[in-house]
């Protein structure tokens, strides 16, 4: 995934577990009300059904994987 600086993903959830790995940039990720700053080389896991949101303060490249795979991304 590539995100431009300033992109703000609204609070949401989905049934799939999400694992995100940051290649470059930064993600300010709020998971279940707790804020984390995810930097290059960091990874995080978000359980399915848990509300989360993301803000990208700088241009960012990350890899997002979902288990089970989300139908809209197949």
Domain contains 61:
yes
Whether pTM exceeds 0.85 = yes
- 10 Å Cβ neighbour count for 65? 15
Mean pLDDT on 32-58: 97
The pLDDT score that the predictor gives to residue 40 is 98
Segments forming the whole domain that contains residue 32: 2-68
Burial 7-19 (b: 16+ CB within 10 A, else e): eeeeeeeeebebe
Q: Residue 32: give its domain's CATH number.
A: 2.60.120.10
The pLDDT score that the predictor gives to residue 69 is 86
Cα angle 33, 19, 12 (rounded to 5 degrees) comes to 40
Q: How confident is the model at residue 12 (pLDDT cuts 50, 70, 90)?
A: very high
Q: Choose among 42, 43, 40, 41: nearest CA to 59.
A: 40
């Amino acid at each position: 995934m590539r995100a431009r600086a300033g992109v703000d993903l609204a609070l949401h959830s989905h049934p799939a577990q999400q694992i995100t790995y940051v290649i470059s940039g930064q993600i300010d990720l709020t998971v279940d009300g707790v804020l984390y700053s995810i930097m290059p080389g960091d990874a995080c896991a978000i359980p399915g059904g848990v509300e989360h949101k993301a803000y990208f303060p700088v241009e960012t490249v990350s890899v997002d994987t979902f288990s089970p795979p989300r139908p809209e991304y197949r």
